[in-house]
Structures are given as structure tokens and as C-alpha cells.
Amino acid sequence: DAGVIQSPRHEVTEMGQEVTLRCKPISGHNSLFWYRQTMMRGLELLIYFNNNVPIDDSGMPEDRFSAKMPNASFSTLKIQPSEPRDSAVYFCASSLARWGFPGELFFGEGSRLTVL
Amino acid sequence: KNEVEQSPQNLTAQEGEFITINCSYSVGISALHWLQQHPGGGIVSLFMLSSGKKKHGRLIATINIQEKHSSLHITASHPRDSAVYICAVRAMYSGGGADGLTFGKGTHLIIQP
């Protein structure tokens, strides 16, 4: 398997623009996570899905952020409108959870977002 | 609220030294992860454990559920071990579901030749 695939790897945009980050989890995994990493705050969970259903979105900063998982092989994280403080590396990870027990995490390479 | 504390924050050691990184957390958990991140790089999961001890090559991870504490050990450290090591825990909700991870701030490890 190719692992967790994220795109784009780098995105530079201007404040106010819409940003869409994409993630393809490992085939067969049933849990998908979106994380954000900044120098100030480290790694933070934004949202995670089990079987394509959002379970916990309490980490989503505000209404400008939204995430979807229309099927088991694809998820998006959208920021609209973007702001400079959204600049960070956004990681997607997937795992295979069984009987409510979490599985090993596999991370994508990350999407580095810069909002000017 | 789950708190995850790592120590030390920064560690510089000589090649060959035995390294220990500690992680303490505040709530009951379903699993604890040790992650490794090289500068500018992606994140790799080293271990996932919920009890006892695991070993992979020169890396050993232990966890004490009663004391809410885990350690990551590196034997015969090498410059290529230089990275940020992050502890992350998944809290156990009373309903039996799993939380989505709370992260420590990370330990910046530098191994000098």
C-alpha cells in the first residue's frame, strides 16, 4: 500500500481565499484523523471519523473549518475564508480500529499551508 | 481534561548513550502512542501500547497504567536517532469509545557523534 496520501504538500494562498486539503487513507482503515501542527501549540487533533462518520470535531477551531468524508477512501479539510493564523502543517492519519480499540496510526506526509 | 506531560523537553547526548524520555498523563487511557518526527519531516508511529513493554530494535517502550506513566528508551543511541519524540494518548470515555489523541509537547533529542 502507498500509505496515507495527502495533497497538496505545500499551499501558499492569500488571506480570504478558500483552501481545500485532501487525504486518502490506507485502504481498509476505518478511522481517519485530521491534525494541525504549529510551533506554538504543537500537534492538535482537529476532527476524526470512524466509518466515515465524524465522531469528535471539538478541535475544529471555528466555523471557517469544515471536514467531510464522503466515502472510505477520501476526506477533505476546508478552510473558508483562510486567515494568516491558519498557517500550519496539517496532517492526516488513518488506523484500523477493532471493537472500539484504537489501532496503530499511520500519518501522511502533511500539507504545509501558508496564508499571507 | 486530559493532560500529557513529557520530559525532558530537550535532550542532547553523545552517540552510544542510553536515552530515556518520559511521559505522564492524567486520565484513564485506551492506548498510548510514541511518535517520531524528523526535522521538516513526517510523523512515524514507533509504538502503540496499552500495557507492559514493547521492543523494536534499539527502542523500548514501557507503560505503567496504575501510575499513568510511560517511558521510551533508546539503547546505543546514534545521530540518526536525532528527532522529536512525541507521546500521545487516547482517553477512554466512560462509554467505552476511544478519544482521538491528546499530544505531549514533544522531546527534542540530539545525538552528537
What's the pLDDT tens digit per position in B50-91?
Answer: 899 999 999 999 999 999 999 999 999 999 999 999 999 987
- Show residues of chain A in contact with B100, CB under 8 Å: 33, 45, 47-48, 55-56, 59
Quick check: B95 pLDDT over 60? no
Number of Cβ within 10 Å of residue B93's Cβ equals: 14
Contact B48 A103 (CB under 8 A): yes
Contact A88, A110 (CB under 8 A): no
Look up residue A5 and give its three cell numbers: 496520501
Q: What is the average pLDDT value for chain A, to the nearest integer? A: 92
So what's the pLDDT on residue B90?
85
User: Dihedrals φ, ψ of A91, to 5°?
Assistant: -110, 145
Q: Which of A78-87, B37-46, B94-103 has the lowest mean pLDDT?
A: B94-103
Shortest distance between the Cα of A32 and any Cα of chain B, in A, equals: 9
Asked if A44 has any chain B CB less than 8 Å from its own CB, the reply is yes
So what's the pLDDT on residue B41?
79
Element (H, E) at B106: none
Quick check: A57 pLDDT over 90? no
Find the mean pLDDT for residues A29-55: 91
Quick check: A107 pLDDT over 80? yes
Work out the pLDDT band at A59, boundaries 50, 70, 90.
Answer: confident
Q: Whose CA is closest to A2, among A96, A68, A94?
A: A94
- Show residues of chain B in contact with A47, CB under 8 Å: 100
Contact A97 B106 (CB under 8 A): no
How many CA atoms lie within 13 Å of B80's alpha carbon, on the beta-carbon side?
2
